[in-house]
Amino acid sequence: MKAGNLIVRAIGKARASTTIGLRNLAYNIVRFSFLMMKSGAMFVVPK
């Protein structure tokens, strides 16, 4: 997996924290889907 740009260029601590949080969320979603596919687990999204 690719980490992307490790330098956060943002004005303000709140924006930098939001950027880091969104990157972390995206990484966790990709990691979760990879682990689910690897284990062969099927998960259903409720409507």
Asked whether residue 14 is assigned to any structural domain, the reply reads yes
For 5-33, what is the mean pLDDT?
Answer: 87
Asked whether residue 26 is assigned to any structural domain, the reply reads yes
Cβ–Cβ under 8 Å, residues 19 and 8: yes
Asked whether residue 23 is assigned to any structural domain, the reply reads yes
pLDDT at 41: 73
Total number of domains constituting the chain = 1
Asked whether residue 30 is assigned to any structural domain, the reply reads yes
In whole numbers, what is the pLDDT of the chain averaged over residues? 81
Q: Give the pLDDT band (50/70/90) at residue 36.
A: confident
Domain that holds residue 32: 1-41
